[in-house]
Structure 1
Amino acid sequence: MRQGSVLGLSPAGFHRVAYTEWGDPANPRVVVCCHGLTRNGRDFDALAADLAADFRVICPDIVGRGASDWLADPQHYGYPQYCADMNVLIARLAVPDLLWVGTSMGGLIGMTLAAQAGSPIRRLVINDVGPFVPKAALLRIADYVGLDNRFSSLDAVENHLRKVLAPFGPLTDAQWRHLVEHGHRRRADGTFGLAYDPAIAGNVKLAVQDWDLWALWDRVACPALVIRGAQSDLLLPETAQEMTRRGPQAELVTWEGMGHAPALMAPEQIAAVRQWLTRA
């Protein structure tokens, strides 16, 4: 495991985008794993460690999250900036093509990039998000994103994450502790906060409405795998089924006992992703 970074550029100046890299740096077979709205690239440690025998695996922290910089002007937190930053990262990798695994926001970034003419993405795994995002799910997320939480201890951070991330599904105590370890930051006053800029919520709250992105999905030409939590309120069952009929006509895997979004930490979930990525 290695740490690296690239420089992204927003209208307010440059910012550092951090990433974690696994596997042989000379391996031309590359997988980029991109996380959800309030998470970071270390969510993929278990998946990346498993894939590293066959792939070079890159797990970025989208700007404003994890070890990446926070934007000087929060109004630029949004998909145009995220996609531009990922284009810089892809250029740094110096490979002609790659595979993409994206959870929620990371899935939408991957879908947007894969829909572009000449896209280098050759296979797309999209975890619990799709081209229709219902307003009700965005309202739920907007309720907790952007709160400038202060916690007195890491145990308090864990209690909070176990509540808001309960839809991730059943996780072991060690897995929850992993999410806490990489999902917190120490504040100047000695308390603990979450490892993201609360200002990412600004544009999320402005965009609380049904999202219709079918025009993007219909332009995706690479093979796609859609993963869905059976109780997900963000990727509705009818949307997931329609994704198997339109655009790349994705394969669909549904995991019981979880909602938005499967954590991709359980052995059976990791095995499903590995088998699909290595099928080619």
Structure 2
Amino acid sequence: MLTARLRTVQWLSPTGLKQLGYREWGDEDNPRVLLCVHGLTRVSEDFDTLAQALSATHRVIAADMPGRGRSDWLEQGALYAVPTYVSACVALVARANAEHLDWLGTSMGGLIGMAYASMPGCPIKTLMLNDVGPSLDLAALQRIGQYVGKSPVFLDKASARAAIRSISTPFGPHSEAQWNQLCDSVLVQRDGGWTTHYDPKIGEAFQTITAETVAASEAMLWAAWDAITAKTLVIRGEHSDLLSKATCQAMQSRGPKAECVEIPGVGHAPTFMQDDQIDIIRRFLA
């Protein structure tokens, strides 16, 4: 098994210099770079299985977004937003010395990728969005807001695993070992027990979501979508409550006119720990 190289890069946040943690697999001199960005409460380790499978053809890099995993936290909850994350990713791409790159973003990571790919001169040539698009479901966002940022402390690891697993059931079927990996990667020991790895302030934005704020966000996201020129793939979980079939159809007809693939038996969002899901990425990159 190929061990990830754990590294950090310094980037300029709105409040000063911060450290961004990231993992890297594969040949350090490989010019074919795949940058993977996780979802809202997840971490870079989510892409370990995928990176193992693709490391022969790609240098795979996965970042812990600010406020998560090994990366520094930010002073204000309002700073946990797409423009901030894009700035951190620009520093990481510069560190990687990647003239061109492929991007795989899950949920929040896909929104970051859309914003980055819409900019003139962006190095993203292949964009893969995992269960996210320019239209966002209000009820799904409110569902996420019910747990994000709460950060309870559990007395033992078994209870913590059970809590993480209960909110992660939309990920679909996984083996017991895979579930333990998905749970353990987002748990840390703190305050005499086990809790989530991220800054609770990332949940603040979800407490003020309204239909009006979602509509305003969607208008900006569709404008970004229409500016993207990268070859684009959209992956949707069959039972996703965040990305609808109607949105996928619209994404096929405008902007980069994406190819869309649906994964059966999965909600929000596929984890790319299963061979059939990995093959979707492998085929698109080929």
Task: Give the TM-score, by structure 2 length.
Answer: 0.94
Runs of 4+ in structure 1 displaced over 4 angstroms? none
The match for 2:108 among 105, 108, 131 is 105
Q: 5+ residue gaps in structure 2?
A: none
Q: Contact 1:79–1:109 at 8 Å: present in 2 too?
A: yes
Quote the residue 1:195 is aligned against. 197
Structure 2 distance, partners of 1:114, 1:72, is 27
CA RMSD of aligned residues (A): 1.1
What fraction of aligned residue pairs are identical, expressed as a percent? 45
Quote the residue 1:234 is aligned against. 242
Q: CA deviation at 1:208?
A: 4.2
Quote the residue 1:214 is aligned against. 222
Q: 5+ residue gaps in structure 1?
A: none
Query: Aligned ranges for residues 236-255 of structure 1 at < 5 Å?
Result: 236-255=244-263
The match for 1:141 among 129, 144, 158 is 144
Q: CA deviation at 1:95?
A: 1.9
Query: Aligned ranges for residues 76-225 of structure 1 at < 5 Å?
Result: 76-187=79-190, 189-209=191-211, 210=214, 211-212=217-218, 213-225=221-233
Q: Contact 1:19–1:59 at 8 Å: present in 2 too?
A: yes
- Does residue 282 of structure 2 align to residue 274 of structure 1? yes
What is the number of residues matched between the two proteins? 277
Q: Contact 1:157–1:192 at 8 Å: present in 2 too?
A: yes
List per-residue Cα deviations over 1:197-251 (Å, max 9, x = no partner). 1110112333443341211111110110100001111001100111111111111
List per-residue Cα deviations over 1:101-150 (Å, max 9, x = no partner). 00000000011111111110000010000011121111111111010211
Structure 1 distance, partners of 2:31, 2:208, is 40
Does the residue aligned with 2:173 lie in a helix, a strand or coil?
Answer: coil
Structure 1 distance, partners of 2:76, 2:134, is 28
Quote the residue 1:12 is aligned against. 15
Q: Contact 2:76–2:201 at 8 Å: present in 1 too?
A: no
Q: Contact 1:233–1:259 at 8 Å: present in 2 too?
A: yes
Quote the residue 1:58 is aligned against. 61
Does the residue aligned with 1:87 lie in a helix, a strand or coil?
Answer: helix
- Does residue 264 of structure 2 align to residue 256 of structure 1? yes
Structure 2 distance, partners of 1:205, 1:88, is 30
Amino acid of the structure 2 residue aligned with 1:94: N
Task: Please say which of residues 134-143 and 32-41 is displaced more in the overlay.
Answer: 134-143
